[in-house]
Structure 1
Amino acid sequence: MTQNGNPEKSTTNASEFTVEELIEKTKSLLRYLKKHRIHTLIFGIIFSGLGLGIALLKKPQYTAHMTFAVHDESGSKSLGGLASQLGLGGGGGGREIWSGFNIGPFLTSRLMIQKTLFTTAQFDDGPDLLLNRYIKSNGYDKGWKKDKKLKNIKFTSEENLTRAQDSILGIFYHNISDKNLTIERYDKKSTIVLLEYISKDELFTKNFVEALVNNAMNYYVEVKTKKAALGVVNLQKQVDSIKRKLDNAMSSVAYSTDATPNPNPMKQYLKVSSQRRMVDVELYSRALVEISKSLEMAKASLIQDTPLIDFLDKPILPLPIEHLNKIKGIIIGGILAGIISIILLLFKQVIKIYTE
């Protein structure tokens, strides 16, 4: 009994000793921190000063928002009734890969961003390419003056770009698409798109957002309606061609009639030319009616396929500004310094205690 009890008592004493030792070491650490509170305070003052300096030196950020809705409905159903009225089949086309849901990736594509950078906008010192304004506002031009390979680079047109210019534009594209530009939708089924751009240049921010959306929407509508527009043009050419042929045929009928106003009934060959022209008139008239129906159908299809863009919100000067407040900078710097200082002191003391 005695032998069985001794180990339990020994284990209990060891546990109690360990807890007491832990409490003592904790008190020792607290005393150590209290002893070095002046160092922590000095550290905090230094970091508070750094926070104030950052708040003073950091340029404000301007944010431009634009919200728009893309109404892009398929015309196959609504055109079916019209086709029936015109006496045509209701042949609807296949599903388009271009839809309002693809606008987000399209806006952030290099094609659209680069096209927008080469768009001319109005600034306080006159009109200029958005690209040149972007270079100046980010200080790239100052750094390029010190580089022999870059100091003579100038951007005037999107045509005939050099390898170096393409490389620079690639860097700008990734900076804009990854750091400055944000595209969102309200939800997966919504066609309402929210675009946000943040930069240090207020006028560039506003002009870039407006130019990007305008360029993208114009290109989108052009591509979306390209096939239907070509169909209308081709059908219109056919209508004009048949009209000319019909006019010529009718003129020929009149000429033939005038040539033989009182034909001899015994000479039927005199009527052949006039009758032949009448057949041409009838054929061209029927063809004109059918192609005119097709033309009206194509025009209706073009109107139906043209997306409708509704702008719900546009950037208005002055833009919302975000900057680091001086007091906030001091507080953040002080808190950060205190946390870092305490961690370093504790780490140093813990190592000292456990190595003794």
Structure 2
Amino acid sequence: MAEEKLNTAEDEISLKELILKLKEWYQYLLTKWRTILIAGILGGALGLVYAFIKKPVYTATTTFVLEEGESSGGLGAYAGIASMVGIDLGGGGGGIFKGDNIIELYKSRKMIQETLLSQDTFAGKQQLLIDRYIEFNKLREDWQEKPELVNLKFSVDVKGYNRLRDSIMGKIVEEINGSILQVAKPDKKLSIIKVDVKSKDELFAKSFADNIVAKVNQFYVGTKTKKSMENVAILQYQTDSVRRVLNKSIGGVASEIDANPNANPAFQTLRVGSQKRQVDVQAAGAVYEELVKNLELSKITLRKEKPLIQVIDEPVFPLKVDKVGKAKGIFFGGIFLGFLTTLFLIVKSVFRNSI
């Protein structure tokens, strides 16, 4: 009991000391009100300057829904029968991309580079997006001391290896991935994907967002259905080839009959030619019938595997802008510098009293 009373007394003394210390700091800060006020005014002035210097950032936002295509499970019976005769109905492309992999595709160098090398119209003139990026960031002004960079040109049909050009492209891709392009799913339970492009140039932000969404989605759909499309193309080629053979065989039967229109029944050899042609027609017809069935099944598989990408919202002018207002700059600048000055005075007081 005595020990508990002692601890309670110590707690009361500590609380009392804390209150006295806070009161002491308060009275000390009152004597320094001019210093804190000057610091607040100076901070407000710096905040106002920052509001003038800080350029607005525009955000181009695109949202779309992604619905994955169905696998070939629904055609399992047909696929099994087709495989027995050496026909693959496709369905192999579904494992390449699944779910959130399209988000990583947006961040790949290939997609960003192809987007930067796209052309668009800015202020009435055709210009590559990468040239627009270099222009509004004033990179060529920073390259004045490097002639090889000043004369560096980019082109849509750029080919071959160029160390300097590829190095600059790599740095710009890193900057875009780091601070300009943001791709995410707002809700993990939904299939909606949101693409944000932030830039100091409003025209660049919208153009880059439109182009990268179009290119990535096209590449995604093409890759997902590539094997099935190749299978359809092969079956279509085989079907057309057999159809030509069938037509030729039918023409051959007609020719043989025309050659002997009134064949003597006593001479069976006169019918051999037309009978051989008829066998060719029957064989080609059977093969053609199976190929047509497999071709139609393959087309169904392709339609089922093709993912659906539907744009919900796309960027329109004027874009959402994020900028520091004058009043906001003055307020937060004054509060921030005033707080730092107050904290400095308190630390200085504590340090001086401890000596």
TM over 0.5: yes
- Counterpart of 1:128? 127
Q: CA deviation at 1:264?
A: 2.9
1:150 counterpart SS class: helix
Q: Distance in 2 between matches of 1:14 and 1:234?
A: 90
After TM superposition, the structure 1 stretch with the greater mean CA deviation from structure 2, 186-195 or 248-257, is: 186-195
Rounded Cα–Cα distance in structure 2 between residues aligned with 1:75 and 1:27: 73
Partner of 2:226: 226
Following the alignment from structure 1 to structure 2, what is the Cα–Cα distance between the partners of residues 339 and 169?
Answer: 43
Please list every run of 5 or more consecutive structure 2 residues that lacks an aligned counterpart in the other structure: none
Q: Residue 223 and residue 92 in structure 1: after superposition, are their counterparts in 2 closer, same or farther (change >3 A)? A: closer
Q: Which residue of structure 2 lines up, in the alignment, with residue 68 of structure 1?
A: 64
Larger radius of gyration: 1
Post-superposition Cα deviations, 1:48-84, rounded to whole Å, max 9, x if no partner, equal 1110000011111111111111222214244458x49
Change (3 A) 1:337 1:255: same
State the alpha-carbon separation in 2 of the partners of residues 13 and 239 from structure 1: 99
- 1:111 maps to 110
Q: Distance in 1 between matches of 2:246 and 2:20?
A: 112
For each residue in 1:111-134, what CA deviation from the matched residue of structure 2 results, as whole angstroms up to 9, or x when unmatched?
A: 111111111111114111111111
| 28-37 vs 133-142, greater mean Cα deviation | 28-37
1:42 alignment partner, one of 38, 43, 67:
38
Mapping of residues 94-173 of structure 1, within 5 Å = 95-157=94-156, 158-173=158-173
Q: Structure 1 CA distance, aligned partners of 2:302 and 2:266? A: 56
CA distance, structure 2, for counterparts of residue 97 and residue 116 of structure 1: 22
Task: Give the gaps of 5 or more residues in structure 1.
Answer: 6-10
Worse overlay, 89-98 or 163-172:
89-98
1:187 aligns with 2:183: no
State how 1:153-302 maps to structure 2 within 5 Å. 153-157=152-156, 158-302=158-302
- In the superposition, the TM-score normalised over structure 2's length comes to 0.88
Counterpart secondary structure, 1:293: helix
Measure the CA separation in 2 of the matches of 1:18 and 1:354: 18
Amino acid at match of 1:348: K
Q: TM-score, normalised by structure 1?
A: 0.88
Contact in 2 for aligned 1:71/1:100 (Cα 8 Å): no
8 Å CA contact 2:90–2:231 kept in 1: the answer is no
In structure 2, what is the Cα distance between the partners aligned to 1:18 and 1:268?
A: 127
What amino acid maps onto 1:243 in structure 2? R
Deviation at 1:253, TM superposition (A): 1.3
Displacement of 1:248? 1.5
SS of the residue 2:147 aligns to: coil
**Cα distance 1:14–1:206, how it changes in 2: closer, same or farther (>3 A)?**
closer
Aligned AA for 2:213?
Answer: V
Q: Is the 8 A contact 2:90 2:227 kept in 1?
A: no
Q: Distance between the aligned counterparts of 1:313 and 1:26, measured in 2? A: 55
- Over 3 Å counting, the alpha-carbon distance change for 1:149 and 1:346 in structure 2 is farther
Alignment size in residue pairs: 344
Contact 2:91 2:301 in 1 (8 A): no
Distance 1:269 1:25, change over 3 A: closer
Q: Tell which deviates more after alignment, 326-335 or 63-72.
A: 63-72
Q: Which amino acid aligns with 2:128?
A: L
User: 1:228–1:13: structure 2 CA closer, same or farther, 3 Å change rule?
Assistant: closer
Q: Is the 8 A contact 1:101 1:191 kept in 2?
A: no
Q: Is the 8 A contact 1:80 1:91 kept in 2?
A: no
- Give the equivalent residue in structure 1 for 2:53: 57
Alpha-carbon distance, 1:257 to partner:
1.3
The residue number in structure 2 matching 1:8 is: none
Partner of 1:327: 327
1:240-260 CA-to-partner distances (Å, cap 9, x unmatched) read: 111111122112211111222
1:257–1:274: 8 Å Cα contact kept in structure 2?
Answer: yes
Distance in structure 2 (CA, Å) of the matches to 1:142 and 1:238: 60
- How far off is 1:182 after superposition? 1.5
1:210 Cα deviation (Å)? 0.5
One-letter amino acid matched to 1:107: Y
CA 1:279–1:320: 2 relative to 1, 3 Å: same
Provide the rounded CA distance (Å) in 1 between the counterparts of 2:290 and 2:170: 52
